[in-house]
Amino acid sequence: MKVAVIGAGSFGTALGKLLAENRHDVYVWSHSLDTAQAIREKRENTIYLPGFPLPENLRVSHELGEVLYKSELVVFAVPTQVARSVIEQMCPQLPRSAIIVSASKGIERGTLCLLADIFVEILGTENKKRLFFLSGPSFAREVAMRFPTAVTIAGYSLEEIGVVQAAFHNEYFRVYASNDVIGVELGGALKNVIALAAGISDGLGLGHNSRAALITRGLAEIARLGQAMGAHPLTFMGLAGMGDLVLTCTGDLSRNRSVGLEIGRGKTLKEVMEHMRMVAEGVPTTESAYELARKKEVEMPITEAVYDILYRHESPREAMRKLMTRRLKQELG
């Protein structure tokens, strides 16, 4: 199978490596000509995924048309806030029968669209059956290290999902199927917001109790928004919900937790972002999630607290105090 991977960041590179190891013919697109040339010359992505030689059947190009030409499977792995423009560039060059798997996680600023919404808007509802969305606990570096990993792939139609599962599956990467696109997308996007909160708490030195409370109550507010948007509640108990949330809130490889850590230790968001090469999707997603919660009239206090810290410059300790002194209520209410 010819596979096009759109995006040469850490996750795009890791998935490209995996698919090449599964004996597919893989072409990776990089928006940067310099990055594409460096990967070709060194056979390694020294910028975003250093330390992992890439298989010979993985090629890299700066030309989108070359990567997409006659592709049967397209894996989309670019930051959410630039996804729309890249999809629009892809559209005229996309083979009509290609299956598309989005591995991006986030909510678009302004429109409050999930990746699924953007793809359907640009490609048309007639193409929904070939759209799939990958999410779950999967740090790029650990995928590249071939550590056992399990993820979920959701689609509007399950006709082709077996083909998608088989393309990715191997002895270290297991893929579960779902028809809950909204739930899988929301879980992947909102866990980054809660990971920022967990990082802030850890940066303040507030201990394991605090982190556990944030993860658990964070999951509750993710599920509330999911229910309001038509997601299946059990999705949030699975890999794309609890699984990804725990990983991102506790793992040292989590970019969003790392941003939160630095903010909890006293740095401003601007200071932290100035020193980051890779994108922390939770930062723009916090703004979008805050606005989406208000639009849907869903109570999301942790998301609101993170928003106040990032965008209203509230002190982390004051935001945590407000969370703890809210009106008392039933846990399942």
Q: Which residues are catalytic?
A: 191
Q: What is the C-alpha separation between 184 and 296, in angstroms, rounded?
A: 18
Picking from 176, 248, 199, the residue whose alpha carbon sits closest to that of residue 219 is 248
Which is nearest to 167 in space by CA: 153, 157, 156, 179?
153
Q: What is the 3-state secondary structure (H, E, C) of 136-176?
A: CCCCHHHHHCCCCEEEEEEECCCCCHHHHHHHHCECCEEEE
Question: Burial letters for 54-91: b for 16+ Cβ neighbours within 10 Å, e otherwise?
Answer: bbeebbbbbebeebbeebbbbbbbbbbbebbebbebbe
State how far the Cα of 3 lies from the Cα of 236, in Å rounded to an integer: 30
Distance, in Å, from the CA atom of 111 to the CA atom of 85, rounded to the nearest integer, reads 14
What angle in degrees, to the nearest 10, is found between the helix axes of 207-228 and 282-296?
A: 50
Distances (CA, A) of 21 to 17, 25, 58, 144, 217: 6, 10, 9, 10, 39
Q: Which two tokens stand for residue 119?
A: 């793809």
